[in-house]
Amino acid sequence: MKVAILGCGAIGGVVARSLRDGEVPGAELVGVVHAGPTDPPDLPVLGIEAATEQADLVVECAGQRALAELGPSIVASGADLLVVSVGALADDALLTKLRDTGPGTLHLCSGAVGGLDVLAAAAREGGLSAVRIVTTKKAPTLVQRWMDAEQQERIRSTAEPVELMRGPAREVTAAFPASANVAASVALAVEDWDLVEATVVADPNAPLTSHVITAEGGSGDYRFEIRNHPSPGNPATSGVVPHAVLAAVAKLARPTGAFA
């Protein structure tokens, strides 16, 4: 399977180098599509058209905006698309276009969290009455451009954890596009955007990024606590995420024997 990587930052760079080094059997790197002015010196670089022509699979590691802009043309080209910026799919029109139009197939990466499989099963079996995700990250990583100067400073200088937002997953993932894709992952897993309440907490003393997912329903009660070390390349991103991408690529390259 020939693979192109869209976005060569903390996630895409690790994924691309691992594929380049032959660490995923059955998967071969054709190149990276990147935005910055300087090409990464150690990786083959492609334009998006060449990437969609040459790759069987394009892996989006570039952000919600890039997915919204480039995703439709990728699936329209016939290449499959593996997505990490799943929060962009809070836009129903984009989700429909990427999932239902083809001919390329849309795949979602579980990214920084787990438990999505059993939440999907529970949502089907007895239905879920409440689903929540609380994301806590090192405070400065959560500063957003839409915040006014006073709020930005309060987050940067807080000595205590501060709750920045609590609301429907659709709104929270849009407000924190590089930090709350996990809220969208949970909503997509249970197939109900309105059921999932997401909270984002800025903690000046959080050495690890945590995501606590809870759900109750007819088949049982669920609680998952994930505590990830941040990526050395981007403290807003958990270090495990590129490895979740690589696990997903491995499964697509050689599906036999993998958890479906």
Ligand X SMILES: O=C([O-])CC(=O)C(=O)O
Listed in sequence order, the residues at least 6 apart from 223 whose beta carbon sits closer than 8 Å to its beta carbon are 212, 213, 214
Whether 211 is catalytic: yes
Among 14, 15, 98, 182, binds ligand X (CB under 6 A): 182
Name residue, tokens 């090192």. Answer: 138
Of 107, 211, 229, 243, catalytic? 211
Q: Is 52 or 209 the residue whose CB approaches ligand X more closely?
A: 209
Supply the Cα-derived Rg of the chain in whole angstroms: 18
List the Cα angle 123/125/127 in 5-degree steps: 45
Q: Is 52 or 135 the residue whose CB approaches ligand X more closely?
A: 135
Spatial distance between the Cα atoms of 44 and 51, rounded to a whole number of angstroms: 11
> Does residue 188 touch ligand NDP according to CB under 6 A?
no
* Ranges within 64-103 binding ligand NDP (CB under 6 A): 64, 66, 84-86
Residue 181 assigned to a binding site: yes
Q: Residue 209: which of ligand NDP, ligand X, none does it interact with, CB under 5 to 8 A by kind?
A: ligand X
Q: Residue 180: which of ligand NDP, ligand X, none does it interact with, CB under 5 to 8 A by kind?
A: ligand X
H-helix or E-strand containing 16? helix 10-20
Name residue, tokens 């059921």. Answer: 195
Residue 33, classed as helix, strand or coil, is: strand
Among 57, 112, 133, 215, binds ligand NDP (CB under 6 A): 112
Q: Residue 31: which of ligand NDP, ligand X, none does it interact with, CB under 5 to 8 A by kind?
A: none
Among 88, 180, 195, 246, binds ligand X (CB under 6 A): 180
> Does residue 123 touch ligand X according to CB under 6 A?
no
Give me the half-sphere count of Cα atoms (radius 13 Å) on the Cβ side of residue 7.
22
* Ranges within 38-67 binding ligand NDP (CB under 6 A): 61-64, 66
Other Cβ atoms closer than 10 A to 187: 26
What x-and-dash track marks residues 93-122 binding ligand X by CB under 6 A?
A: ------------------xx----------
Residue 205 assigned to a binding site: no
Spatial distance between the Cα atoms of 47 and 12, rounded to a whole number of angstroms: 15
Query: Which of the 8 DSSP states describes residue 217?
Result: E
Spatial distance between the Cα atoms of 203 and 142, rounded to a whole number of angstroms: 9
Residues that bind ligand X (CB under 6 A): 111-112, 178-182, 209, 228, 236-238, 241
- Which residues are the active-site residues? 211
Instruction: List, as residue ranges, the binding site for NAD(+).
Output: 112, 181
